Amino acid sequence: MLHAQEWQQIGNFNRPPTCLFNDTIDHLLYVGGDFKFNGTDTLNGISFYDGIKFYPMLKGRTDVCGNVNCGNLSYINRYKNEVYVSFVGNEISGVTVNGVAKWNGESWFTVGNPGLFYNQYTIPSVLGSFEKDSLLYCVGFFRNADGDTCNSVATWDGTHWKGMAFLPNVAGEVPELNSIAFYKGQWYVGGNNYTILDGAENDDIARFDGTAWHSVGGGMRGGDSFIQDMVVYKDELYVCGYFSKNAGNKGNKIMRWDGNQWKEVGGGLCSPYDIATDMMVYQDKLYVVGIFNCVGNGLPASDIAVWDGEKWCSFGNSVFDNKMLCIGNYKDEIYVGGGFTIINGQPSRYFAKYIGDHSTDTCQTVISGVSDLEARPGLEIAPNPAQDYLNLQLQNSSTPIESIEILDASGRNCSQIIDWKTTDYSTGQLHIQRLPAGWYCVRVRCADRVLVGRFVKG
């Protein structure tokens, strides 16, 4: 059963929020993103919310906003009693910005002199930060900081930037680093970078011991891999993004590092095309959002799931029609932003708050500390997009397919207008000629599991 009442649309944005920051100092939720409007109010991609109303921050990002959108805002944080933001563009409310701007509650100011730079053609940006020892450690996409060569890693002391001398990739290009974390006395940076560390190839992640940069278990495997976010949870470093076990990694789209080795996270995300975009630790649980339809290689979860250190759970068994980009908590409530416009069959555009009670959550079963779904493979769908038929492939299936259901983007069951058949335990075929064009969810039930996938009918 779908539960529309579990989510409430917040605001009336015309485009998705991409970044949230719960400011516990001024008790406001800062929201940045691709939006230009909230209903009739012009926000130009940056606003703060007090639980009742959204407020503009002067004129916002006037130089990059078109008629309807402003481009992603990638970073918001607080440092020394001011709010810092980074975005695509070099001006905010008439103030020239080189990488980062700061807000004192009334006005915007540039950060640094001359600030962060990539080159004269490419706009720099900060994508993540961590405050320690009165310094703000920042990563992103920039070549130098106030004149120091740094290759996307720098510190800010409130007055000046200082480069942290990170390595460029093997082609000499500047890396794009999305996240930074401090774990067991060392700095970790993650993103999209290919370099040589400790005499070997290393992708997407590195650690700094105070003297030199080192490999982290050989980094990510796979030429198209990248890390999107990193958090410390239950004394382990969790990383998420786009990487797979098939390429030689320990996990699918999410893994954990204990200081010595990589480990899987309960099977991770199911599909080879899934992406984890953001993580949040809240009330002793790890929340993950992105573009996915199941976790633990079989548990249905639409773009949001919760990990408690042993098992995965769905989040209200909710169904979103499009991706999630960010998650945050504010006044003990959970907010999500992304490209969705329908939740559980009801209109809910781009930004929503959870108001349910988790009574409909579905969780994996843990036996002797190991998830019953951890070692089970998922569901492959081809072709995708499809016109007339779909081929379903279940890996290592030991029980026959009992039923196949099709749900459209609104959550409506469309199973009555498809035909399906199976030839053995592991394969099935759906004839979908009568389905209208659009996005669909397919749910395959066997005696021992339920597998979920997505496809597009062309």
| Cβ neighbours of 184 (radius 10 Å) | 13
Q: What is the pLDDT along the chain (458 residues), one digit of tens a residue?
A: 344 478 999 999 999 999 999 999 999 999 999 999 999 999 999 999 999 999 999 999 988 899 999 988 999 999 999 999 999 888 999 999 999 999 999 999 999 999 999 987 788 999 999 999 999 999 999 999 999 999 999 999 999 999 998 988 888 889 999 999 999 999 999 999 999 999 988 999 999 999 999 999 999 998 889 999 999 999 999 999 999 998 999 999 999 999 999 999 999 998 778 999 999 999 999 999 999 988 986 788 999 999 999 999 989 878 899 999 999 999 999 999 999 999 988 899 999 999 988 877 888 765 334 343 433 446 788 887 788 888 888 876 667 788 888 876 555 678 877 888 776 667 888 888 888 877 677 878 777 666 777 777 76
Domain architecture of the chain: domains with CATH: 4-371 (2.130.10.10), 379-457 (2.60.40.1220)
In Å, what is the CA distance from 205 to each residue of 110, 129, 166, 225, 240?
30, 15, 12, 11, 11
* pLDDT, position 357: 84
Spatial separation of the C-alpha atoms in residues 44 and 359, rounded to whole Å? 38
Spatial separation of the C-alpha atoms in residues 15 and 351, rounded to whole Å? 9
Structural tokens at position 310: 């042993």
| Cβ neighbours of 207 (radius 10 Å) | 22
Residue pair 193/204 in contact by the 8 Å Cβ criterion: yes
Structural tokens at position 308: 């408690």
Spatial separation of the C-alpha atoms in residues 177 and 130, rounded to whole Å? 13
Of 380, 452, 440, the residue nearest 411 (C-alpha):
440
Q: How far is CA 347 from the centre of its chain?
A: 22
Identify each DSSP E strand in 210-323 by its residue range.
Answer: 213-214, 226-233, 236-242, 254-257, 262-264, 275-282, 285-291, 294-295, 299-300, 304-307, 312-314
- Write phi, then psi, for 415 (nearest 5 degrees): -60, -25
- Tell me the torsion sign for CA atoms 333, 274, 244, 424: positive
In Å, what is the CA distance from 162 to each residue of 48, 59, 166, 190?
30, 30, 12, 19
